[in-house]
A and B are shown apart, each in its own frame.
Chain A
Amino acid sequence: MQSAISLLELNQLVKMTLETQLEPTYWVVAEIGELKQAGQGHAYLDLVEKQGNTILAKMRANIWSYSYRGISGRFQAVTGQSLKSGMKVLAQVTVTFHEIYSISLNVKDIDPNFTLGERAKIRQEVIERLGREGMMDLNKRLLLPMVPQNIAVISSASAAGYGDFINQLENNRFGYKVVSKLYQATLQGSEAVNTLLHAFKNVFMDHPKDKFDALVLIRGGGAQLDLDCFDDYSLALEIAKSHIPVITGIGHERDETIADMVAHTKMKTPTAVAEFILSGFREFEERLHDLLKILNRNCSQQLNWEDRRLLDLENRLKIQTRNILSRESEKLTGKLRQVRISSAGLLKLEQVKVANMNLSLQKTLKSQIEQQSRKLEQLEKDIQKSDPNTFFQKGYTRTEINGLPLHKLAPEKGQEIRTYLLDKTIKSIINEIEEHGK
């Protein structure tokens, strides 16, 4: 059996063995477990190695304040973020053993480029995974209303960026009204992703009721801060799958975060998001103005056109009416001429008839008068023939007895007869009557 030694002796043995057997320093790849900063400026941390959630190795470590200032400063300058738990680092360590505090690592240096590359690798993996899953453009396919008037904002009420954003929206010089609802989230640190996811969940819960036009994700801005949460896979997934178009205003100058990549629209700063939203309003209003102008122009054009058309119609109407009137007037004149001609013809015909009648009347009258004249002449002759004077002048006489003509009587002897001559009357007595044969 070995002779017993004291614990101190054992620890001194371990310490000596370690010091003689190990190299003065090692470059170790590990993940930062817990990280605490002590009052004196020293940092105490755990370095772990994990496989999934299983811890394969773990060791305490410290960074003395005179090293820590340099290390963390350079780290932040290169990676844009501070050392924090969960970060994979390449650290130059010395293994130390203390008789009381046992084994620990003293961190001499941390290579920020490793972390940068590591993070880039992880980031690339996340991007590739999202790409494979078809998430990169999912949110971009949503239609962002031109005038997003009702928006959900995920941010921190105390963040300067949020204040700028709200101020910009509310005091816009065009007087546009934008309704925003804030969903609180922590934007840095280990709780950032969880609170962000929680905020997203709340937004989606309210969406059926509030009907958001857009979801704005904005961060504080100002100082260079931790952006790791915006490269988180689960947050990216949430953004991608959102039914509301997501606009980011994470406020950083370096390469865009994965949240920016999957979002519908990426803006550099919260103020830029507000500007973007307002620009939609302005564009819409300008388009309205333009449309109004076009409408106005078209209307007046139309009016002018109609005016001209009416005028044209009026003129045509006038011309047509005049034409019709003159045509009708000509027709009437023609008819009048016809009437005149035919009436003149008729008149002439009637005149001829009347003239003929006149003529025949004249003829008839003449012949009647002639006939009457002839008759009268005949009667005159007859009268002359019967006139006793005619006979008397020729030497004939007329004899009567008692006023009656002798040839109508039977005269007797001794009767007194009266004989008429032209200028004498002879009274005598019948002496003898002789008959002579006739």
Chain B
Amino acid sequence: MENKIIGYDKAVARIEEIVNLLESGEKGMDELSDLVKEATTLVKICKNKLRTTESEISKALEDNEENH
């Protein structure tokens, strides 16, 4: 739940952190799986955000053009 209101930049930073943690291989299996789950969720959120952002921006820009 907490992840849903997290900002994009923070989310990406968290994903990178998680990737680093995963790559370091120092975490236990349970933790690993939780981290992967978290990262995957965050990626999903970020992707979603990117898409909405893109469409929002396109829409905004289109409105802009129409106004001119």
Instruction: Spell out A's residues near B (CB within 8 Å).
Output: 351, 354-355, 358, 361-362, 365-366, 369, 372-373, 375-376, 379-380, 382-383, 385-389, 398, 400, 403-405, 407-408, 420
Contacts and interface: CB of A to CB of B under 8 A. Distances in A.
5 contacts: A366-B54, A375-B12, A388-B32, A404-B28, A408-B26
Given A373-B50, A383-B18, A408-B26, 17 more contacts: A361-B61, A365-B57, A369-B53, A372-B46, A376-B15, A376-B50, A379-B19, A379-B43, A380-B43, A387-B32, A388-B33, A398-B29, A400-B29, A404-B28, A405-B26, A408-B25, A420-B29
Nearest to A354: B68
A87 B12 CA distance: 172
Given A369-B50, A380-B43, A383-B36, A354 B64 contact: yes
B29 A387 contact: no
A339 B54 CA distance: 39
Contact of A382 (B12, B22, B46, B50): B22
Contacts of B29: 388, 398, 400, 403, 420
Contact of A362 (B16, B53, B57): B57
Interface string B1-26: 00000000000100110110011011
B64 A379 contact: no
Contact of B25 (A361, A369, A389, A405): A405
Contacts of B54: 365-366, 369
Nearest to B49: A372
Contacts of A382: 19, 22-23
Nearest to A407: B25
A341 B34 CA distance: 66
Contacts, number: 78
Contacts of A400: 28-29
Contacts of A388: 29, 32-33, 36
Contacts of B43: 376, 379-380, 383
B54 to A, nearest CB: 5
Contacts of B16: 379
A373 B46 CA distance: 9
Interface of B: 12, 15-16, 18-19, 22-23, 25-26, 28-30, 32-33, 36, 39-40, 43, 46-47, 50, 53-54, 57-58, 61, 64-65, 68
A407 B26 CA distance: 9
A354 B68 CA distance: 9
A365 B68 CA distance: 21
Nearest to B19: A382
A388 B64 CA distance: 48
A387 B36 contact: yes
B19 A383 contact: yes
Contacts of A358: 61, 64-65
Contacts of A404: 28
Contacts of A373: 47, 50
A337 B9 CA distance: 52
A66 B52 CA distance: 177
A168 to B, nearest CB: 112
B21 to A, nearest CB: 8
Contacts of A420: 29
A408 B18 CA distance: 19
B47 to A, nearest CB: 6
A361 B65 CA distance: 13
Contacts of A389: 36
Contacts of B22: 382-383, 385-387
Contacts of A385: 22
A190 to B, nearest CB: 138
Contacts of B47: 373, 376
B23 A386 contact: yes
Contact of B39 (A351, A365, A379, A398): A379
B36 A372 contact: no
A385 B54 CA distance: 28
B22 to A, nearest CB: 3
Nearest to B46: A376
- Give 8 closest A-B pairs by Cβ, nearest first: A386-B22, A403-B28, A382-B19, A383-B39, A387-B36, A379-B15, A380-B43, A351-B68
A87 B15 CA distance: 177
A333 to B, nearest CB: 27
Contacts of B36: 383, 386-389
A381 to B, nearest CB: 9
A257 B37 CA distance: 168
Contacts of B33: 388
Contacts of A380: 40, 43
